[in-house]
Amino acid sequence: MKYQSIYHPELFKGQTIIVTGGGSGIGRCTAHELASLGATVAIVGRKVEKLDRVKEEITAVGGRVSCHACDIREESLVRQMMADVIARHGGIDGLVNNAGGQYPSQLKDLSTKGWEAVIRNNLTGGFIVAREAYNQWMATHGGSIVNIIADIWGGMPTMAHTGAARAGMLNFTETAACEWAHSGVRVNAVAPGWIASSGFDTYDAPMQAELRRLKEKVPLGRYGNEAEVSAAIVFLLSPGAAFVTGSCVRVDGGVPNARHTWKPVPTDRSKPFDGFPLATLPECLQ
Ligand SMILES: CCC/C=C/C(=O)SCCNC(=O)CCNC(=O)[C@H](O)C(C)(C)COP(=O)([O-])OP(=O)([O-])OC[C@H]1O[C@@H](n2cnc3c(N)ncnc32)[C@H](O)[C@@H]1OP(=O)([O-])[O-]
Ligand SMILES: NC(=O)C1=CN([C@@H]2O[C@H](COP(=O)(O)OP(=O)(O)OC[C@H]3O[C@@H](n4cnc5c(N)ncnc54)[C@H](OP(=O)(O)O)[C@@H]3O)[C@@H](O)[C@H]2O)C=CC1
């Protein structure tokens, strides 16, 4: 079934856009939406079988997509991946720096190795991918980069490593937006709140129990869905955002504004946008 985007179906006709982490969740949804809008999508991830599945889904509805196995933490692999995408598609117009993830741990129990693994995954990796996109293509041709971060406004108990990495990524976004503006490159961020995606299923049972409870703390009264994050990414990549750079769009149902005052009311308070018929509800919420 084809993606039902709210945007014009030829918005990205003739463009090539890289989506890291395109084999599942938010990245998979974004790849579907961009392909439905005419883009050729290059999806990147560590597990080839996940990428192949998404490729099958997108080609089945007439989209164009290529798969690139690559760990974003490995500089030489990222360099090669970027060169392959450029050689295969003739350039890159956009990059969605979405690959990432972490595991819950209290600070006192966090090993240095674990801290560094998460920083590499969510800060260093995103930096390497963006720098290679810029140096290998965008510096001379322009382009648009969207970095996916998280709701980092305030502390993130049990998620300090990823909070530090994503806060770093926000500042990287602001700096790159300045340094790369003269090349016609815009750099923005999207900060998802609690998004019911396959990502939830990667957590252990106690964390999943916590996640089931958390929606009561959202002013809009529910989790977000993948299509709602994708819509923000697509806006920032589009000409509609031509004068937007160094910004962050928060897609979180209002959580950062309400942390101290919100009194939970356990009912849904907004109608979701759901343009993605193939979205997978995480098993832990079923
Ligand atoms: C932000 C809020 C909301 C967000 C929601 C989402 O993001 S949804 C999306 C969610 N999606 C995802 O999160 C998916 C992506 N996530 C991942 O791939 C992993 O979480 C990763 C980033 C740690 C990389 O892991 P990897 O396998 O490549 O790394 P590695 O094997 O090289 O390990 C290096 C060291 O890290 C440590 N350590 C690692 N795991 C654990 C653990 N569970 N337990 C304890 N410790 C752990 C350990 O010290 C290990 O060394 P050791 O002691 O073994 O010698
Ligand atoms: N869902 C949520 O509530 C939130 C999500 N986020 C962030 O949004 C992004 C997408 O998350 P979501 O779709 O929910 O989760 P998923 O776990 O489904 O997606 C993460 C994707 O990133 C890929 N990935 C992870 N590490 C690497 C790596 N080192 N190199 C290449 N690819 C990698 C994974 O593929 P593979 O395993 O094949 O490598 C996977 O497809 C992540 O950065 C996540 O942390 C932020 C805030 C909230």
Provide mean pLDDT across the span 179-187.
Answer: 98
- pLDDT above 90 as % of the chain: 80
Look at residue 80 in the predicted model and tell me its pLDDT: 98
β-strands 16-20, 185-192: how paired? unpaired
103 lines ligand 1 (CB under 6 A): yes
Ligand that comes closest to the CA of residue 47: 2
**CA 182 to centroid of ligand 2, rounded, Å:** 31
117 lines ligand 1 (CB under 6 A): yes
50 lines ligand 2 (CB under 6 A): yes
Look at residue 266 in the predicted model and tell me its pLDDT: 62
In this predicted structure, the answer to whether residue 283 has a pLDDT above a threshold of 90 is no
Of 23-32, 84-93, 247-256, 272-281, the least confident: 272-281
In this predicted structure, the answer to whether residue 114 has a pLDDT above a threshold of 90 is yes
126 lines ligand 2 (CB under 6 A): no
Which uninterrupted H or E stretch holds 58?
A: helix 48-60
* ipTM confidence score: 0.96
Look at residue 258 in the predicted model and tell me its pLDDT: 84
Look at residue 260 in the predicted model and tell me its pLDDT: 72
Pocket test for ligand 2, best of 18, 46, 156 (most atoms within 8 A of CB): 46
Residues linked to residue 185 through DSSP beta bridges, in sequence order: 143
Query: Would you tell me how many other CB atoms lie within 10 Å of the CB of residue 274?
Result: 12
Look at residue 129 in the predicted model and tell me its pLDDT: 99
Minimal-distance CA residue to ligand 2 atom 42: 100
In this predicted structure, the answer to whether residue 120 has a pLDDT above a threshold of 90 is yes
Q: Alpha-carbon distance 67 to 69, whole Å?
A: 7
Compute φ and ψ for 266, nearest 5 degrees: -80, 55
Residue range 238-266, pLDDT digits in tens: 999 999 999 999 999 999 988 777 777 66
In this predicted structure, the answer to whether residue 40 has a pLDDT above a threshold of 90 is yes
> Please, which pLDDT band fits residue 44 given cuts at 50, 70 and 90?
very high
Provide mean pLDDT across the span 26-37.
Answer: 98
* Strand boundaries in 135-207, DSSP class E: 143-148, 185-192
Class for domain 16-285, per CATH?
alpha beta
Q: DSSP letter at 136?
A: I
Q: Alpha-carbon distance 252 to 197, whole Å?
A: 14
Pocket test for ligand 1, best of 113, 124, 162, 190 (most atoms within 8 A of CB): 113
* Strand boundaries in the chain, DSSP class E: 16-20, 40-45, 64-69, 94-97, 143-148, 185-192, 248-251
In this predicted structure, the answer to whether residue 62 has a pLDDT above a threshold of 80 is yes
Provide mean pLDDT across the span 17-25.
Answer: 98
Average per-residue pLDDT for the chain: 94
